[in-house]
Amino acid sequence: MSAKLISIVIPCYNEESNIRPIYEAVTKVLETVTYDREIIFVDNGSQDRSAKEMGALVERDSKVKALLLSRNFGPESSGLAGLQHARGDAVIVVAADLQDPPELIPEFVKKWEEGYDIVLGQMISSNEGRVMRRIRRAFYGILKNTAYIDIPSSVTGFGLIDRRVNQVINDMPERSRFYRGLVAWAGFRRCLIPYKRRERKFGRSSYNLLSYLRHAEMGLFSFTTVPLELLTYLGLLLVVLSGVAIATYVSLFLLFGNPIKGSATLFLGIMFFGGIQVLAISIVGKYIAIICDETKQRPHYIIKEVVSRDP
């Protein structure tokens, strides 16, 4: 009977200085695990020498494979490419920047051996700035209180999923993907392992504040309809208040003539209701945009080349 296989998926974008260090770190910790291994690098349309670094590792190690995408399809799509090409009995996703410690991999595997189908790293501290920490905390707070499933706070893509869970995630056809939410939606037996995220040593992150906000937006709109529900309640409240205001104005008009004069009140009212309408249209538009993207049925990614020593 052949040994079980552990697949390591490493999505990359402009990480040429981190390719070899992450390979060496992962390979070192896998030596303590009594399973066969495969390492899958996914190059998300990098503009640097990342693809060449991956090719050199493939020549060096037959257990390494590189998927070169035709352009940058985003972190969710590049991660999905690795998951769909992983053959392992368990799949571990690791970021190439070494901020998430590969040294936790043996602990992930141990928990998997104990019967957990999902083992996720839960970040308890990081070197992010104060603004980013507050944004992250606010995002997970909103998600926890509005999502229709339980998505653990401060989890990243770093973690292990069993083959069965990986198959479930791969079979999901949706285009607007939020990996952490999809893993939580799948169910199964789950375990969280706390860790401290390290500071990036090499290169610069391609993620900025706007990227984080867009990713957070995708997570919120994919797993909650609370914004639409709030608009419904707000609309109902405004109708009631408008009815009260009309009744009050008619009463005052009958009793005192026309006591409310001037255009300031009218102007403020138009601004207020106009703002509510724009907000409502924007929120509804976000959901419509997601629906539109789903109906196009475009592929999640396009593989330009597979670099491998497999026949």
> Using CA atoms in the order 228, 231, 237, 243, what is the torsion angle rounded to 10 degrees?
-120
pLDDT at 275: 67
**What average pLDDT is seen over the chain?**
79
Q: How far is it, in rounded angstroms, from Cα 71 to Cα 13? A: 10
* CB of 36 closer than 8 Å to CB of 12: no
For residue 307, list its beta bridge partners: 66
Q: How far is it, in rounded angstroms, from Cα 111 to Cα 4? A: 15
What integer is the mean pLDDT of 95-122? Answer: 87
Q: Which two tokens stand for residue 259?
A: 């006591």
pLDDT in tens, 244-272: 766 776 676 667 666 555 555 665 566 66
For strand 64-69 and strand 303-307, is the pairing parallel, antiparallel, or unpaired? antiparallel
| Confidence grade of residue 181 (pLDDT, cut at 50, 70, 90) | confident
Q: Which two tokens stand for residue 32?
A: 């303590």
For strand 118-125 and strand 155-162, is the pairing parallel, antiparallel, or unpaired? antiparallel
State the amino acid at position 148 in one-letter form.
Y
Sequence ranges of the domains in the chain: 5-208+298-307, 226-296
Q: Tell which CATH architecture fits domain 5-208+298-307.
A: Alpha-Beta Complex (3.90)
Compare 264 and 102 and report the one with higher pLDDT. Answer: 102
> Quick check: helix, strand or coil at residue 167?
helix
pLDDT in tens, 208-246: 666 667 766 776 777 776 776 777 777 767 666 766 766
Alpha carbon 304 to its chain centroid, in Å, reads 24
Which residue is it, tokens 């499933």? 149
Q: 162 vs 51, 89, 178, CA distance in Å?
A: 28, 6, 18
pLDDT at 142: 74
List, in sequence order, the alpha helices (H) in the chain: 16-30, 50-60, 75-85, 105-113, 130-146, 163-171, 179-186, 209-223, 226-256, 264-296
Which residue is it, tokens 């009594």? 34
Q: How far is it, in rounded angstroms, from Cα 57 to Cα 45? A: 18
How far apart are the two ends of the chain, measured CA to CA in Å?
Answer: 23
- Tally of residues, the chain: 311
Q: Which two tokens stand for residue 291?
A: 């629906």
pLDDT at 1: 44
Q: What is the pTM of this model?
A: 0.74
